[in-house]
Structure 1
Amino acid sequence: MSRELARRIAFTIGALLLFRLGTQIPIPGLDASRLASLPGFNDRLSLFSPGLIPYLTAAIFLRLLSVVWRGLSSLERSGDAGRRKLVRVTLGLTLALAAFQAYGIASTLISFPELVRNPDGWFVMTATASMVGGVFLLVWLSEQITRYGIGNGLALILSVGMLVSLPRDVAGIADVVRSGALSGNLVFIHAVFWVVTVAVIVLVEGARRNIRVEFGARDVGARQLPGRDAVLPIKLNSAGFLIPVTVAPWTFFLPLAFAGFVLGGDHPLVVAAYRHLQLGQPAHMILVSIAVFLLAFVYTAYVVDPEHTAKSLAQHDGTIPGVAPGEATAGYLDRVVSLTTVVGAVYLTALQLIPQVFDLYGIGLPYSMIVNGGAALVVVCTALDIKTQVRDVSLTNPGGVRR
């Protein structure tokens, strides 16, 4: 192991330990003795209670806005200055969302008897400020991991937050099996299912549709670089998971909220719609699946913009064999990306359905609504990213030159 790799691994472990330490520090003003009698609530009532949700929500919102607003999209692709402006906007929106969420948590806590020592306005203000600071500390910590450690900091913190509950879930399931309330065969089937699911995720996330590209000879100063062949890789799943699955419920809950505002929350149609659209209901499963499938196409079209790619190829004298440059190349790339995305969209839709199908047919385990396809995808992709970075650092000399 190289010294640089050892340093990065040690930094990452230290940063993650700092994250776990923060999840054990309670919100200022809570009664520690009362909090100790609520097992499992330490993480939820800590300085890091809001987690990275405000930051991720802000980033997802701006990313979606850039899909429909060309100005924001061009800002992201305009170099370091544009990206710095986008970061400042993201952090400003994060501040607003974090303050709103933290205030809601603090206001709710004062309604619990004996949990808050002095349930007054001062507690709400200090608790809100503490949790907002915790959100920005997590954002800063994730950036430091990405810059000086191994792996993507955001993904690592999310993965660790998911994995820490796994031993407790396994121990709880083992106790239920020993008591005879749960079939051991069902647990075995779940174990096999998740092994297969992880294998499928590894296979799909590593799959690429490679498009052959030819670059012509070009002059660089006094030298002439010869023509060369390359490939343009198109991921099977270019949309990721967070944006399609996070945004999908908005597509029907926002219109439903508007209908409730116009008709009234107690209107029979609104009440019936909310009842049928609860998590685990068939209507919810169908609508979310359709929304995830379509959003995978929408977001992939933004990530792999055929027009931008065709223009970039033309600028570097690159052509796809048998395809004319310009609009023909953009049309060809659009067809290839669309056909590839069909597989990726089906894959994402199936992953997000896993816990709801378990719950619908009554074959779920206590973890089913927490450890789901999305959590597995995030953890597996984080592990694959760490593997790639470890290999790259191991093959790179201190001067930045690959061995």
Structure 2
Amino acid sequence: MKKLISTLTNIWKIEDLRTRILNTLLFLLIYRIGSHIVLPGINPAALQSEAKDGLIGLLNMFAGGSFSRSAIFALGVMPYISASIVVQLLGIAVPYFQKLQKEGESGRKKMTQITRYLTLVITLVQAVAYVRSQISPDMRMSEIGEPTFTILSTFILTAGTMFVMWLGEKITDKGIGNGISLIIMVGIIAQLPSGLISEWGARVGGQGGGLIPFIVELAALFFVVVFTIMIVQGVRKIPVQYAKKIVGNKQYGGVRQYIPLKVNSAGVMPIIFAQAIMFVPLTLSQFFPDMKNSFLDSLSNYTSVTYNVTFAILIIAFTFFYTAIMVNPQQMADDMKKNGGFIPGIKPGFATGNYIDGVISKITLPGSVFLAIIAILPAVAGKLGVNSQFAHFYGGTSLLILVGVVLDTIQQIESHLLMRHYDGLMKSGRVKGRANAVASGVTDPTL
């Protein structure tokens, strides 16, 4: 405890770090205030009875509850995430975007600008869809007519999302951590108190059970979080030896380092892709009622066995796919060879690339299975009687984002402390965020 107090004191002593943390808290406070400002023309009293569940409930969690409140930030950063994913995929398939990726800082700025424009287009489309599908006539005030309300709400929702995107970029520049990731994390954490209260009310009320089952659920959540941290932090270290070079009177190289290959190199992207695919049956059943059948209905129900088995298979498949397109073993082998490095016992060049590819394939299989288990845990918890609002915290994208963002933020704070010769938040070298996984070459737009 004494060490923790000393570390917090050291954080406050560092002016740059103190300013960044205060800036981050200020920007996040602005976001949370905006999440409670209801769109003009909507009766706030009519929103109290609106309960969001299932996939809509998951979107509501990412938006910090503003989705169900019909707030000006109702769409949150989801359009920006969608645009980032599209641009990232274009960087794999389109030569122009591949060229931008190789242009360094100037190319990155161009891709960021393209992402912003694409975010604007996606937000306009999603804003119209949100107004049409999520705001019923009884929620609106009669003073504003239909065309005016739709146009005004679309404009405000689009402006709200662009403002949230700007807040995220400002947090990244002036604060601590990744701004977009922190905004998502704060939105998820904001739902935790209400989830705990609803679960406690269910245990002492209708479902029964009392205090003991509630404590068991909290203990289970703790072990799930520990398991998720193990998956996020898990790496396979490949030793690399660098040849000795003598330049003048100094010796360079001759040391043994390692390549940290992450067990889960794909991050949360496989879950996001799989969830997008699982939206298709629900969309088909809504737009084509004649196609409805028991199998399609089961694929639309996120608590059904059919849905979760299909969901898990898609996650495993997308994990291999995303890892294959984002991690290039041959490129790693060529870079290693140019720098005079080699893996002991393996020939440099093509043989090294094959060796790294084999290691990645071996660790990706258990990583993808564990990721699928984490993804379906909320549905399992719901089947076991946990309240749906609280069950979301037992796994899935929300838990992976929480764990990843917290670890990355702690790592950045620790870097500031160690750079100024202070002790870190944890023992030096033990906390490693996404910035340390340089060898994987994966950049997750959602974190």
TM-score between both structures, scaled by the size of structure 2: 0.80
Distance of aligned partners of 1:323 and 1:39 in 2 relative to their CA distance in 1, 3 Å threshold: closer
Q: 2:395 aligns with which of 359, 373, 376?
A: 373
The residue type paired with residue 225 of structure 2 is V
Contact in 2 for aligned 1:265/1:271 (Cα 8 Å)? no
Distance of aligned partners of 1:156 and 1:328 in 2 relative to their CA distance in 1, 3 Å threshold: same
Aligned counterparts of 2:158 and 2:215: Cα–Cα separation in 1: 42
Q: 1:1-400, aligned counterparts within 5 Å?
A: 1=10, 2-32=14-44, 43-44=66-67, 45-69=70-94, 72-108=97-133, 111-113=136-138, 115-116=140-141, 117-179=143-205, 181-184=207-210, 185-218=212-245, 225-241=252-268, 243-251=269-277, 254=280, 265-267=288-290, 271-278=293-300, 279-359=302-382, 361-374=383-396, 375-397=398-420
Aligned Cα RMSD in Å?
Answer: 3.0
Equivalent position of 1:401 in the other structure: none
Aligned counterparts of 1:276 and 1:343: Cα–Cα separation in 2: 27
Equivalent position of 2:443 in the other structure: none
Contact in 2 for aligned 1:186/1:363 (Cα 8 Å)? no
3-state DSSP of counterpart to 1:232? strand
Contact in 2 for aligned 1:4/1:393 (Cα 8 Å)? no
| Deviation at residue 160 of structure 1 after TM alignment | 0.8
Runs (5+) with no aligned partner, structure 2: 1-9, 53-59, 422-447
| Deviation at residue 305 of structure 1 after TM alignment | 1.4
Q: Judge which range, 212-221 or 382-391, deviates more.
A: 212-221
Aligned counterparts of 2:246 and 2:321: Cα–Cα separation in 1: 39
Q: Judge which range, 84-93 or 321-330, deviates more.
A: 84-93
Runs (5+) with no aligned partner, structure 1: 399-403
Task: Count residues with an aligned counterpart.
Answer: 393
| Deviation at residue 303 of structure 1 after TM alignment | 3.0
Aligned counterparts of 1:260 and 1:199: Cα–Cα separation in 2: 38
3-state DSSP of counterpart to 2:130? helix
The residue type paired with residue 34 of structure 2 is G
Aligned counterparts of 2:370 and 2:343: Cα–Cα separation in 1: 28
Contact in 2 for aligned 1:285/1:353 (Cα 8 Å)? yes
Distance of aligned partners of 1:114 and 1:65 in 2 relative to their CA distance in 1, 3 Å threshold: closer
3-state DSSP of counterpart to 1:231? strand
Contact in 1 for aligned 2:242/2:342 (Cα 8 Å)? yes
Distance of aligned partners of 1:156 and 1:315 in 2 relative to their CA distance in 1, 3 Å threshold: same
3-state DSSP of counterpart to 1:323? coil
Equivalent position of 2:440 in the other structure: none
3-state DSSP of counterpart to 1:230? strand
TM-score between both structures, scaled by the size of structure 1: 0.88
* Per-residue CA distance 1:205-247 (angstroms, 9 max, x = gap): 2222111112224477996634332111111111111x21111
Equivalent position of 2:7 in the other structure: none
Aligned counterparts of 1:110 and 1:188: Cα–Cα separation in 2: 38
The residue type paired with residue 54 of structure 1 is P
Q: Judge which range, 8-17 or 122-131, deviates more.
A: 122-131
| Deviation at residue 99 of structure 1 after TM alignment | 0.5
- Identity value in percent: 27
Aligned counterparts of 1:109 and 1:204: Cα–Cα separation in 2: 36
Distance of aligned partners of 1:180 and 1:33 in 2 relative to their CA distance in 1, 3 Å threshold: closer
The residue type paired with residue 103 of structure 2 is S
Contact in 2 for aligned 1:35/1:115 (Cα 8 Å)? no
Aligned counterparts of 2:202 and 2:48: Cα–Cα separation in 1: 24
Distance of aligned partners of 1:373 and 1:111 in 2 relative to their CA distance in 1, 3 Å threshold: closer
The residue type paired with residue 291 of structure 1 is L
| Deviation at residue 65 of structure 1 after TM alignment | 3.8
* Per-residue CA distance 1:234-290 (angstroms, 9 max, x = gap): 11111111x211111444665x699889xx93445x534421212122221111111
